Amino acid sequence: MGKIKITGDGHPLLDGKVQISGAKNAVLPAITASLLTSEKIRLENIPLVKDVYTILTLMKGLGAEYTLDKNSLSIQVKRILSQEASYELVQAMRASILVLGPLLARKGKAIVALPGGCAIGSRPIDLHIQGLEKLGASIQLEHGYIRAEASKLQGTEIEFERKTVGGTENLLMAACLAKGETVLKNCSLEPEISNLCEFLVKMGAQIEGIGEETIRVKGSDPLHGATHEIIPDRIEAGTFLVAGALTYGNLTLTHIQPQHLLTIIEKLKYSGVKIEKLNNRSLRVQGAPKIKSQDITTSPYPGFPTDMQAQFTVLMTQAEGTSIITETIFNRRFSHINELLRLGANIEVSGDKAIVKGKTLLSGAETRATDLRASASLVLAGLIAQGETIINDVEHLDRGYEKLEAKLKTLGAQIERVST
Ligand code: EPZ
């Protein structure tokens, strides 16, 4: 497993420009949506991250042919050669479940391994299954697999008991090929959902209510090929905003959509961080001499994103006072905290809350990454810790951040990957 070494001298000044990549959580459903047509799909602004290679391996096994040229992907599923997503691939990446809806809609059959739990919590998919059964699928759960069959999906009204990003995406894609109209209620509002809807419309889908909690999909014949641009990664952007805040830096983020970052920006400004919108695609962030503590509760978009919780926790270790971080989305998303304690943070976990006491000076130590956003929080902590921080199992980071060390090094960080 790979390692990253960071030498923080307590107050590195990150300075300069960083180009934010395409969104991992937008490109994964866009890639599985290519199952909905036998024609060629072209996706631009692809992030070259590990999860993209994983989903492409899975798609190849299903019959997809693709070429990746820098950050552009063309992919085509002329014929479905297999309807099975193996345990090994699903275990590697839970988002593999996003083949379930489109595969069932295109082929009438899908066998997908149950995702199981992971470092951030149990990852049930009951809402995906309930929705697909309402569309007329018959679904068996046996030997750790979901076996779904449907001669023809039939449009209907589906209301999600709880907000689910992946569930909304799976049902949107399945509904595109169902007979008649499907009304999806209590949909997630994340920008990645709207980006998927806009792509499906380009493929010929008839969708109303994009960006709203109720989305109507008129099922139609197989969709056709299209070209689409993946939206910028708002979580990578948020991670760099926190990096600029922590290092009292002066960073300009380019190729972003600031309107996807409103809650993150609002919370950072409340803590005293200076953020200035330069134009519709870029922001400048400057750290503050004093960071103000505040309580944060994660919630579905447009609330404070759970994917920014670990990163923001690091910022609160540098705030004067006590901050209570409440995680409401996943039931075990505090695995970064034990590692932050090793760096000298003062955090106590009680149920779904992390009570952070600041300001604490962090000192470098050897640490271990446990999941994607936890590893990002360790990088942020390493930037400001006195001395050397080693992050082991850094493959977690590679799942969702493209060239993170290179981007940070360009900004002046002392960071490098060391071979094991
Ligand atoms: C997506 O995961 C993202 N992943 C996650 O990002 C993100 O944290 C999450 O949405 C919430 O915003 C991708 O888009 C690939 P959910 P997803 O279905 O779809 C429960 C990252 O770091 N639930 O919205 O799996 C579930 O357990 C990753 O980039 C059910 O109970 O999230 C969780 O508690 C991590 N039953 C909550 O809902 C279901 O059928 C939200 O899950 C489905 C979900």
DSSP H or E segment with residue 55: helix 50-62
Q: Residues 330-337: what's their mean pLDDT? A: 91
Q: In whole numbers, what is the pLDDT of the chain averaged over residues?
A: 95
Segment 193-200 mean pLDDT = 98
CA of 291 to the centre of ligand 1 (A): 30
Average pLDDT in the 378-397 region? 95
What is the pLDDT at residue 287? 85
Q: What angle do CA 243, 163, 257 make, to 5 degrees?
A: 40
In this structure, the residues whose C-beta lies within 6 A of any atom of ligand 1 are: 24-25, 28, 94-95, 123-128, 162, 164-167, 188, 306-307, 329-330, 372-373, 400
- Does residue 382 carry a pLDDT above 90? yes
pLDDT confidence of residue 236: 98
Q: Please tell me the total number of residues recorded for the chain in this structure.
A: 420
Instruction: Please answer whether residues 104 and 174 qualify as being in contact, where contact means their C-beta atoms are separated by less than 8 angstroms.
Output: yes
DSSP secondary structure, 300-329, as one string: STTSB-GGGHHHHHHHHHTEEEEEEEE--S
Measured distance between the N- and C-terminal CA atoms of the chain, rounded to whole angstroms = 7
- CA dist 149 and 140 (Å) reads 9
As given in the structure block, the two tokens for residue 268 are 């950072």
User: What band does 92 get if pLDDT is binned at 50, 70 and 90?
Assistant: confident
CA distance 198 to 209: 11
Yes or no: say if 176 and 169 are a contact pair by the CB < 8 Å rule. no
CB 378, CB 389: distance < 8 Å: yes
Which residue carries 């990446």 as its tokens?
93
How high is the pLDDT of residue 107? 94
Query: What is the pLDDT at residue 197?
Result: 98
Q: How confident is the model at residue 69 (pLDDT cuts 50, 70, 90)?
A: very high
Give residue 10's pLDDT.
Answer: 59
Selection from 89, 20, 3, 4 nearest residue 251 by Cα: 20
| Protein residue with its CA nearest to atom 41 in ligand 1 | 164
Over residues 199-204, the mean pLDDT reads: 97
Atom 21 of ligand 1, residue of closest alpha carbon: 307
**178 is written with which tokens?**
């169902």
Reported as a single tens digit per residue, the pLDDT across 94-139 is 899 999 999 999 999 999 998 866 777 777 899 999 999 999 999 9
pLDDT at 253 over 70: yes
Q: What is the pLDDT of residues 410-420, one digit of tens each?
A: 999 999 999 76
**Rounded to the nearest whole angstrom, what is the distance from the C-alpha of residue 286 to the centroid of ligand 1?**
31
11 — pLDDT class (breaks 50, 70, 90): low
Percentages (nearest 5) of helix, strand, coil residues in the chain:
35, 30, 35
Question: Exposure of 164 by Cβ count < 10 A (0-12 exposed, 13-18 middle, 19+ buried)?
Answer: buried
pLDDT band, very low/low/confident/very high, at 248 (cuts 50, 70, 90) = confident
Question: How confident is residue 175, by pLDDT bands cut at 50, 70 and 90?
Answer: very high
Question: Are the C-beta atoms of residues 364 and 415 closer than 8 Å to each other?
Answer: no
Which 8-state DSSP code applies to residue 106? H
Residue 154 β-bridge partners = 179
CA 245 to chain centre: 22
Three-state SS at 338: helix
Within 8 A by CB and 6+ apart from 88, the residues are none
In this structure, the residue with its CA closest to atom 18 of ligand 1 is 164
- Among protein residues, the one with the nearest Cα to ligand 1's atom 31 is 124
* Cβ count near 125 (within 10 Å): 20
- The confidence score (pLDDT) of residue 420 equals 62
Characterize 270-306 residue by residue with b for buried, 16 or more Cβ atoms within 10 angstroms of its Cβ, and e for exposed.
ebbbebeeeeeebbebebbeebebbebebebbeebbb
User: Does residue 118 carry a catalytic annotation?
Assistant: yes
Q: Residue 95 C-alpha to ligand 1 middle, in angstroms?
A: 9
* Strand, helix or coil for residue 144: coil
Q: What is the DSSP letter of 98?
A: G
Write down the pLDDT at residue 182: 98
Is residue 294 pLDDT above 80, yes or no? yes
pLDDT (mean) for 15-41: 98
Q: Ligand 1 centre and the CA of 263: distance in Å?
A: 19
Examine the pLDDT at 162 and tell me if it is beyond 70: yes
- Average pLDDT (331-347) is 95
For residue 349, pLDDT over 80 is answered with yes
Q: Please give the backbone phi and psi of residue 3, each rounded to the nearest 5 degrees, phi first.
A: -130, 150
pLDDT higher than 80, residue 355 = yes
